[in-house]
Chain A
Amino acid sequence: QKEVEQDPGPLSVPEGAIVSLNCTYSNSAFQYFMWYRQYSRKGPELLMYTYSSGNKEDGRFTAQVDKSSKYISLFIRDSQPSDSATYLCAMTPNTGGFKTIFGAGTRLFVKA
């Protein structure tokens, strides 16, 4: 079983829709949760980061962490064609060293 599970999609939605992207994980030591966006033939770039449980909002994007369920989500409101990309979740335990684990990514297509 992978430490981080993410549905690869693809997910296709019309412009203006609310998009929900999700990851589940098995390691309760994860404390930092991140979402990266990756456009085609480009490297991933950090979109949002949250610590422990709760919500964080940044413009049209909201990241949500439910540690009790080991479940994280990224919501995109008023989705735009420019949001079409692969979204990768990533998480890190609150320990030293380097143990960031990435999900496989969900491909999102927003149709105009």
Chain B
Amino acid sequence: NAGVTQTPKFQVLKTGQSMTLQCAQDMNHNSMYWYRQDPGMGLRLIYYSASEGTTDKGEVPNGYNVSRLNKREFSLRLESAAPSQTSVYFCASSEFLPTGSGNTIYFGEGSWLTVV
């Protein structure tokens, strides 16, 4: 069972470079998310997509863009990377919003991004 697959797993960027993190889920989920995880800060939501064709900002959207390519795929783009964007990025999905009432969020294994 693949679940949520994200690539690349590790990446080093120079300040100002751009890159796209790719994410795909095979659980036929409607909702998808991008989080970043930093020490002492926990998981913070960058963007989410409630369903195919919609995207919304989360808590920390500045410096990022997203594309919900189809129901399976949700990509995160850094247009001009900054050292403050050094973090671990997690893609996630759930059957629908909201994520209470037992609606589990499933996470990918993470992408470690370093901006130098």
Give the B-binding residues of A (Cβ under 8 A): 4, 6, 8, 31-32, 41-46, 49, 51, 88, 92-100, 102-105
Interface size class of B (residues with CB under 8 A): 20 to 34
Q: State the Cβ distance, A46 to closest chain B Cβ, in Å.
A: 5
Between A31, A46, A92, A98, the greatest number of chain B beta carbons within 10 A of the residue's beta carbon is seen for: A98
A94 neighbours in B (Cβ, 8 Å): 100
Q: State the Cβ distance, A94 to closest chain B Cβ, in Å.
A: 7
A-B contact count (CB 8 A): 66
Interface of A is mostly: loop
A49 neighbours in B (Cβ, 8 Å): 100, 102, 104
The answer to whether A102 and B42 have CB atoms under 8 Å apart is: yes
The answer to whether B42 and A96 have CB atoms under 8 Å apart is: no
Given A43-B92, A97-B98, A98-B97: 10 more A-B contacts, CB < 8 Å: A32-B101, A43-B90, A43-B110, A44-B107, A49-B104, A88-B42, A98-B45, A102-B44, A103-B42, A105-B42
In the complex, the 5 A-B pairs of residues with the closest C-beta atoms, listed nearest first: A32-B100, A43-B107, A92-B100, A104-B42, A102-B43
A99 neighbours in B (Cβ, 8 Å): 98
**Does B113 reach chain A (CB closer than 8 Å)?**
no
The answer to whether B110 and A42 have CB atoms under 8 Å apart is: yes
B92 neighbours in A (Cβ, 8 Å): 43
Can you report 9 residue pairs joining A to B where beta carbons are below 8 Å apart?
Answer: A43-B108, A44-B107, A88-B43, A93-B100, A98-B31, A98-B98, A100-B45, A102-B42, A104-B40
> Which of A8, A95, A100 is within 8 Å of B40, CB to CB?
A8
CA distance A102 to B90 in the complex (A): 13
Residue of B nearest to A95 (CB): B98
CA distance A105 to B90 in the complex (A): 15
Given contacts A44-B43, A98-B50, A102-B42, contact A92 B108 (CB under 8 A): no
Q: State the Cβ distance, B23 to closest chain A Cβ, in Å.
A: 11
